[in-house]
Amino acid sequence: MVKNNEEMKSKTLRLLMPQWQGGNNPAYFLGAQLLNWLSPHTNDIQEEVPISSNKEELKVEKEIFARRALLKQLHDAADLLNKHNPDRVIVFGGDCGVELAPIAYLNNKYDGDVAILWVDAHPDVNSPEHFENHHAHVLANLLGVGDQEFVAAVPKLVNPNNILYVGLNEWQPSEQKVMEQFDLSAVKPESLVEDSSSVLDWLEKVNPAKVFIHFDLDVLDLREFRSLLIANPATYEKMKTQVPTGSSIETIIRVLQDVAKSHDVVGLGITEHFPWDAYNLQNMLQRLPLIGDINKKDKPSFNWIF
């Protein structure tokens, strides 16, 4: 396939940001690294955002867990984006908070003419007074709601008319209030099963110059894809009976391919990969003779509370 001149001139930044503090789950660090490793190799510019290992920063400040570390990582990501000034951005996370800098950057670069497909089971428009984990605040920050230091990192606020939830499945009353305040549009999983028309029709109506796709893996159905926080092996059978049916892998592939065939996708962020088996295996290897510490007794932890 011959690329057109615009595609040949465009610059893409592949950004690895294994941030975990926003969801307070260390497994997201490994999850991001695996996403990057598993993804097809490209010749794009590659950068990694350094992630703090300072345990003193793992505390709640201004009602946000690990606020200091998250702000530093946000600014470091923004610095890398500004350094390279890419036309397109690929992000491997990490918790959903990794999307704040790249979306803010692209929305500003393209003067607000960017549609955001929030492919996610959750709306992520919570606020510190209702929820201390920042990964659930990120889209609210892009709309100008929440902790003002995070909002200050958004030079041009996202137009709420340019946001579409794809696969939305679960939300809190506090999030419902924000969704209604901004009149955010949503497509539920059942509307995606037959075809992609609900998403494509919305895009045709909005008619954006560019599209950013936020893809939180928790939009996938845990009965098919188990590398999700809610697919904890210890409670998996119980969760299967309680969690709403999500989208299939093939459905999401089809929707995103259909979008890319008809619109200019300038950003793709993939987040919240929770590889239970790999995470447990990593812990085991750290405790074996010759390759690890035979005195180490720590078991894998998740959703740390300090």
Residue 1 lies in a domain: no
Number of domains in the chain: 1
CATH assignment of the domain containing 124: 3.40.800.10
Closest CA to 199 of 264, 256, 247: 256
Tell me how far apart the terminal alpha carbons of the chain are, to the nearest angstrom: 53
Is residue 67 within 8 A of residue 61, CB to CB? The reply is: yes
- DSSP-assigned beta bridge partners for residue 270: 92, 215
Residue 284 lies in a domain: no
Token digits for 108? 């500003």
Residue 288 lies in a domain: no
Could you give the residue ranges of the DSSP H alpha helices within the chain?
5-9, 27-38, 67-84, 100-109, 138-142, 148-151, 173-182, 197-206, 236-242, 249-262, 276-285
- For the entire predicted model, the pTM comes to 0.94
Residue 306 lies in a domain: no
Token digits for 283? 């812990």
Helix pair 67-84, 100-109: axis angle to 10 deg: 40
Q: Which is it for strands 60-61 and 64-65: parallel, antiparallel or unpaired? A: antiparallel
Residue 283 lies in a domain: no
| C-alpha 265, offset from chain centre | 16
Is residue 36 within 8 A of residue 110, CB to CB? The reply is: no
Residue 136 lies in a domain: yes
Residue 228 lies in a domain: yes
Look up the domain containing 125 and give its range: 12-278
Instruction: Please list the pLDDT of the chain residue by residue as tens digits (306 residues).
Output: 344 555 556 899 999 999 999 999 999 999 999 999 999 999 999 999 999 999 999 999 999 999 999 999 999 999 999 999 999 999 999 999 999 999 999 999 999 999 999 999 999 999 999 999 999 999 999 999 999 999 999 999 999 999 999 999 989 899 999 999 999 999 999 999 999 999 999 999 999 999 999 999 999 999 999 999 999 999 999 999 999 999 999 999 999 999 999 999 999 999 999 999 999 999 999 999 999 999 999 888 777 432
Residue 251 sits at φ, ψ, to 5 deg, of: -65, -50
Residue 292 lies in a domain: no
